[in-house]
Structure 1
């Protein structure tokens, strides 16, 4: 389904494409797009027009195994009811690809719910109308919920607004890459349970910098840090950087907060190597190895790519935690330096992936994500 100029060529050519067709559904009636293998270009969909005050929704992919691609479109809730929703996907077998497709709302209680896999890309001024208090609702649907947002301008949602809500139900995964955000917006609420939601932001923010990143989990959050940094440590080439980890009261040794992997190339095979990561915190003494530790994933088998793992935490749940080693280097703040280190013998050259895990509840750690491999 494409929108073209009626006075253009017959059949239409690329120059005839427009983005001005409008489909209106009035009153409390919802607008349902249900089929598979559908491509729509240049259509504005309005639900709840005519001054409706009762719930009306837009449902994209209203059934199982439905695939939709929308380009240069707009999904608009016109009803003033707070129960108005834009629902993208209905079952985990749904797939929706939205390009340069905006969303519009008429009440702060409205928002977006996703089910299945949704890819949303290349959309300037993506949010129109009244900004929802929470943009993405996590519903109770038992099916998979995955959003991959790339190159989306969400900056219209500012102070008092939250991009991803806490929600309930099964795990939902949200990733925002190269997106424009408002400096005052809350990126995500703390997920309501360990399995509720996982939210990652990569190179997304409000200013002209390219190092913004964050991670939101039930057990804690991670954000970039540019003040409490280690001299000679990680950098984007211009700005020294560290990772700021803040654990919640839900962090435990069995359910720690886990950072994204830090990759470093290993050129040694058959001999021991040691990977070290530096950190600092305000705990007064070095943290114990059941408070924070590092896990290395490496190629420990010469005959297959199956990973081997090693960490510097305590050996098991019944063991007593011991202090980590003292750290080295000069930091721009906080008080107590520490080092996380693991020694292992790779059997193949290749990438080593290191993940820092923090389990001490309600604590703040600063990590230099620059690995020393010796």
Structure 2
């Protein structure tokens, strides 16, 4: 591993050997180097060019290069106290910044373009991984453009405490054929730019994923959508966990096809609650409910909750909307156990067992962890449907109570996973995600 120095104001030999002889551009510093090399970029580095800026790291995913903004007046070689966040790399006109290879980059601000056309910040080479920490990725052009990836496959863009800014509402993130992870970022959208109409765009028929954890997207408000669901692309798996959003933002719509975008949301909201969640699928969606709830049912310790399931016209018995699993620990072995979930809806009569049912996954084999499945739906595709049993308890709304119950015989102690499935088209059900074992 070798170390090199980069400072736009250096006037020496340009060998990168020290600050006096530093490279004046990062692209030149990266050229001809080896995986794992370290590049120290001065805190007053201000690099700008009017042509495409391509940064090709010689690093690999297993041995990425490190690009670190540091105080050039500090310790040599730099130590933790010398880390800074002020170096800038800019292109002017309608010009992009391209990333290739694999690198960890800390404390740099990348600004692509300042014209009226299209500028991008893209990873473009297959099997590349760029990790940005305490950095900022910005598009200054006011036309098109995206932050993310294009052209290659199996690419990774990871943002840690890293902000973004866009120059037009048509911009946003591009998830081409890889993974975007964005973690631990307060005030994630830099003020002074435009808020994209759609934050994450899915732009190929390949697969990819987005994971947001601890990201403040509250600047993305009314009239905006976080995850694209309109384009005929995918499949893409999207997860938001422990994030802050505006109360008026649309997280996602229902995907256009069964194998398109999957969106799961946990503890995400605009106010100080810890129970907000949602799921978006082709066959329907799920959100938390705090009014039509069952007395004595599920709660976060203070607020009673239920799950509101709304199916689409695409729901079928073969491809129902499937709720997240409800886990409950079971200590019984060798004897039958009944797992029950209560629900309510406005259908006037209890729903049939091909309209909503529960499936249990449990340890039914004493000699292996091979799962056993049982459900209370109709027996097969040709079987006649029957009504579910009437439910019990007091609910805060709707009309017709029902219950979903399955009998299982565990052979080992362990978690039982229950998944409610709904197949009646264009219908609304409320279920209490508190399981009773008896």
Whether the TM-score (by the shorter chain) exceeds 0.5 is yes
Q: Judge which range, 85-94 or 287-296, deviates more.
A: 85-94
Q: Extract unaligned runs of 5+ from structure 2.
A: 1-66
Residue equivalent to 2:112: 47
SS at match of 1:186: coil
Native 8 Å contact 1:98 1:119 kept in 2 = yes
* 1:64–1:130 Cα change, 3 Å: same
CA distance in 2, matches of 1:160, 1:95: 29
Residue equivalent to 1:368: 432
Kindly state the Cα deviation for residue 92 of structure 1 after the two structures are TM-superposed: 4.3
CA distance in 2, matches of 1:27, 1:315: 65
Cα shift readout 1:285-343 (whole Å, capped 9, x = no counterpart): 00000000000001111111000000000111122211000000000000000000001
CA distance in 1, matches of 2:338, 2:72: 69
CA distance in 1, matches of 2:361, 2:211: 26
SS at match of 1:150: strand
Question: How do 1:1-374 residues align onto structure 2 when only pairs under 5 Å count?
Answer: 1-36=67-102, 38-49=103-114, 52-60=115-123, 62-81=124-143, 83-88=144-149, 91-114=152-175, 115-128=177-190, 129-142=193-206, 144-166=207-229, 167-374=231-438
Cα shift readout 1:257-287 (whole Å, capped 9, x = no counterpart): 0000000111111111110000000000000
Kindly state the Cα deviation for residue 113 of structure 1 after the two structures are TM-superposed: 1.2
Native 8 Å contact 1:113 1:137 kept in 2 = yes
For these two proteins, the number of residue pairs brought into alignment is 368
Runs of 4+ in 1 over 6 A off after TM superposition: none
SS at match of 1:15: helix
SS at match of 1:234: coil
Q: Extract unaligned runs of 5+ from structure 1.
A: none
Greater Rg, structure 1 or structure 2? 2
Cα shift readout 1:222-265 (whole Å, capped 9, x = no counterpart): 01111100000011111111000011111111110000000011
Root-mean-square deviation (CA, aligned residues, Å) is 1.1
Cα shift readout 1:151-171 (whole Å, capped 9, x = no counterpart): 000000000000111132221
Native 8 Å contact 2:148 2:180 kept in 1 = no
Native 8 Å contact 2:339 2:435 kept in 1 = yes
* TM-score normalised according to structure 1 size: 0.96
CA distance in 1, matches of 2:434, 2:152: 41
* TM-score normalised according to structure 2 size: 0.82
Cα shift readout 1:198-226 (whole Å, capped 9, x = no counterpart): 00110010001111110011111101111
